[in-house]
Amino acid sequence: MERRHSQQRERIYQTVAASYGHPTAQMVYDALRREMPQLSLGTVYRNLRQLAQEGRLRELDGPTARYDSVLRPHSHIRCLRCGALADAGTPYDPALDQGDVARGWTVRGHDLLFHGVCPACAEKIENQIY
C-alpha cells in the first residue's frame, strides 16, 4: 500500500506537534474545524492511527480500563502484539516522585508500564503465525 501525501494528514500532524498538551482525536478535530470546516472526525482518527503506525506520533494510553487487586504499587508490562497485561518484577522506586518532575505540579505517585512481547506471541512470531 503506497502512501500518498494529503493536506489533512499534514495539518493533523502539525496540530499535534504544535500543541502544548497531548491532544485527543476530538481536540485535534475541534482545533482544525475552523480552518477546515468539512474535516471529518473519522479522518482525524484514521490519520492519527496511521501517523502512530508510521512512527511520526506516539499513542498514549489504551482505550479499555483494566483492574488489579494488587494494591501495593508495582509495575506492569503490556504485549505490543496482543495487548495482554501482566505484572512486572521491577519494584516501585519512591525516589522518582521526589525530583522536580514538572513545574507547578504536586506529585502523588507514578506508574511504570513496560511494553514488550509476551511468551505466547513470541512463540507465534517464531513460527511465523501472523
Sites of contact with DNA (CB under 7 A): 1-9, 24-26, 36, 38-43, 45-47, 49, 63-65
Burial class (CB within 10 angstroms; exposed 0-12, middle 13-18, buried 19+) of 119 = exposed
Q: Compute CA distances 54 → 13, 32, 47, whole Å.
A: 12, 22, 10
Among 34, 100, 127, 130, binds its own copies (CB under 8 A): 100
Cβ proximity to DNA, 51 vs 112, nearer residue:
51
As a whole number of Å, the CA-based R_g of the chain is: 19
Among 3, 89, 127, 129, binds its own copies (CB under 8 A): 89
82 counts as binding its own copies under rule CB under 8 A? no
Whether 107 and 101 have beta carbons less than 8 Å apart is answered as yes
- Least distance to DNA, CB of residue 90, Å: 25
95: DSSP letter: G
28 counts as binding its own copies under rule CB under 8 A? yes
Whether 47 and 9 have beta carbons less than 8 Å apart is answered as yes
- Point out which residues bind its own copies (CB under 8 A): 13, 16-17, 19-25, 28, 48, 51-52, 55-71, 75-77, 79-80, 84-90, 96-97, 99-119, 122
